[in-house]
Amino acid sequence: MKKYLLATTMFMAIVTGAKADVVVMSWGGDYGAGQVAAFNKPFTEATGIKSSMVDSDNPTALIKSMVEANNVTVDVVEVEYPDAIRGCDEGLLEPVDPAILPASADGASAKDDFMEGAITECGVATVVYSWVFAYDNKKFPQGPVTMADFFDTKKFPGKRALRKQPKFALEMALIADGVPAADVYKVLGTPEGIDRAFAKLDSVKGDLVWYQANAEAARLLADGEVAMSSGSANRFFNAAVSEGKPFTTVWDGQIYDFAMFVIPKGAPHLEDAKKYLAFATDTKQLAGMATELPFGPARKSAVPLVHFFKDGKTDIRPHMPTNPDNLKNALAVSSDFWADHESELTERFNTWLTSN
């Protein structure tokens, strides 16, 4: 195992090269390209410090192997929120002092300007991604507007697609049942709350279609298999804007989570990595990132700066998870809740699925 780790990290060292001063590892694809445009290029222009981007499918696993093999070759890594918490708990990440983060243009400190929970002990959020539902607007010209409508098969007949996991399905059920977004995890933490969520799911059980992979959400909707589908907001945006599908996204009861920049323990260019992290999470840079892709910036002050999608004509503001209108009844995912209850609720969820 050690040998394997060593080989991997040596390979990484060759790939990433020793020239760049800050090596950033992210998810590649459109997303990585967007980050190069929004963060890396302006960073090098502004500071003269070179930076390069490395792609990875699963940055968290690589951080773990690099730190454990004591051969860290990247400086800044983007991970999902639960992994930023877990990595910090397991001692794989450098703590980040919020004092290094720049204030917003109107003088609000970083702590006030970032969304709640966006700065953690070891990480700083860049964007918000979101779980919502969308419908085929050819089927419902007077479309559903609330989460409750998703569960109202009398008013809006047709099948609904949900991802086959308790996470998100239970939150959606409670929001639809009238629990304010802020109280969802409090209610779900009690046996009565869990019963209540399952009772709500029960009421539409016969009309649910379950899928496993995120990509299926938009496909089921496009194929006409379902009238409404829950799924990742950027996929519905992509299907609607880039492929011209007649989808409308409903933001009421959206469930959002952060993507985080973290610094692995033992990063070779720690000081420059901190500079990069502070620069990239500045208001202007986060706004630039949100123009590249329909994710919301993690800073409130960046929201007004975003207007058009990069195609130059689509107004991206209504499609951002962080648009104030979209945040009215929104829920931040609780990683702590799911770390505690995932196995128990998955058992219950699967029992519920297989019973009639």
Partner 1 sequence: MTLALSTARQKARRRAMLLVAPLFLFIVVTFVVPIGQVLFLSVNNDGFSQTAPKLGAWFLANTDGTVPDEAAYAALAADLDQMRREKTAGAAGTRINDVVPGSRSLFTSSARASRDFKPPYKEALIAKDARWADPRVWHAMRAAANPNSLDYYIIAADRQRAEDGSIQQVPPERRLYIGLFASTFAQSALITFLCLMLAFPIAHLIAHVRQSTANLLLILVLLPFWTSLLVRTSSWIVLLQRQGVVNNVLVALGLVDTDRRLELIYNNVGTIIVMTHVLLPFMILPIYSVMRMINPAYVRAARSLGATSWTAFRRIYVPLTLPGVAAGSLLVFILAVGYYITPALVGGADGQLISNMIQYHLSASNWSLAAALAFILLVGVLVLYWIYDRLVGVENLKLG
Two structure tokens written together for 286: 């986060």
Q: Which is nearest to 8 in space by CA: 66, 88, 87?
A: 66
Cα separation of 253 and 6, whole Å?
46
Say how many Å lie between the first and final Cα of the chain, rounded. 47
Minimum gap (Å) between residue 190 Cβ and partner 1: 11
Q: Which residues of 211-227 are buried (b: 16+ CB within 10 A; e: fewer)?
A: beeeebbbbbbbeeebb
CB 262 within 8 A of CB 122: yes
Binding mask 179-208 for partner 1 (x = CB under 8 A): -------------------x------x--x
Two structure tokens written together for 296: 């919301």
352 part of the interface to partner 1, by CB under 8 A: yes
Count interface residues toward partner 1 (CB under 8 A): 31
Q: Which of residues 110-149 bind partner 1 (CB under 8 A)?
A: none
344 part of the interface to partner 1, by CB under 8 A: yes
Cα separation of 50 and 112, whole Å?
30
Cα separation of 26 and 33, whole Å?
10
89 part of the interface to partner 1, by CB under 8 A: yes
Two structure tokens written together for 173: 């059920």
356 part of the interface to partner 1, by CB under 8 A: yes
Minimum gap (Å) between residue 252 Cβ and partner 1: 26
214 part of the interface to partner 1, by CB under 8 A: no
353 part of the interface to partner 1, by CB under 8 A: yes
From 274, 275, 299, 341, residue interacting with partner 1 (rule: CB under 8 A): 341
Minimum gap (Å) between residue 246 Cβ and partner 1: 16
Q: Which is nearest to 295 in space by CA: 45, 42, 78?
A: 78
From 212, 311, 312, 313, residue interacting with partner 1 (rule: CB under 8 A): 212
Q: Which of residues 222-241 bind partner 1 (CB under 8 A)?
A: 223-225
Give the residues lining the site for partner 1 (CB under 8 A).
86, 89-91, 159, 164, 198, 205, 208-210, 212, 223-225, 336, 339-344, 346-348, 350-354, 356
